[in-house]
Amino acid sequence: MIFCVNNKFEPVQVECYSGYKTNERPVAFTFRERRWEITEILDRWYEGGLKPDAPVVDYFKVKTDNGTVFLLRYTEHSDAWGVCDYECWHN
């Protein structure tokens, strides 16, 4: 399955756990008319936030219930999520 082209993220609806902050971590997402349950967060990191013109972007490398690995991206400034197949993004 290829879900991105040239490392571009596609918009996606994400269900999140919100603990000490909103959208703390994703728990599931709906993409291309399918709900993907996240069983494990393999890695997470962020970029930006040091300059006003570089908003914070959070990344989550996640494993779904069928074993597929995706990269989810959350841009807090626009409250928008994107998804990309990890293998596509990584290569």
Q: For the whole prediction, is pTM greater than 0.85?
A: no
Q: Which domain holds residue 57?
A: 11-90
Paired sense of beta strands 34-47 and 25-31, if any: antiparallel
Would you give per-residue pLDDT tens digits along the chain (91 residues)?
434 445 688 899 999 998 888 888 999 999 889 999 999 999 999 988 777 777 889 999 999 999 999 999 998 888 999 998 766 545 4
Give domain status of residue 29, yes or no. yes
Q: Which residue has the tokens 């709906």?
A: 30
Give domain status of residue 1, yes or no. no
- 56 touches 4 (CB < 8 A): no
Give domain status of residue 4, yes or no. no
If one counts the domains in the chain, the total is: 1
Report which residue type is found at 14: V
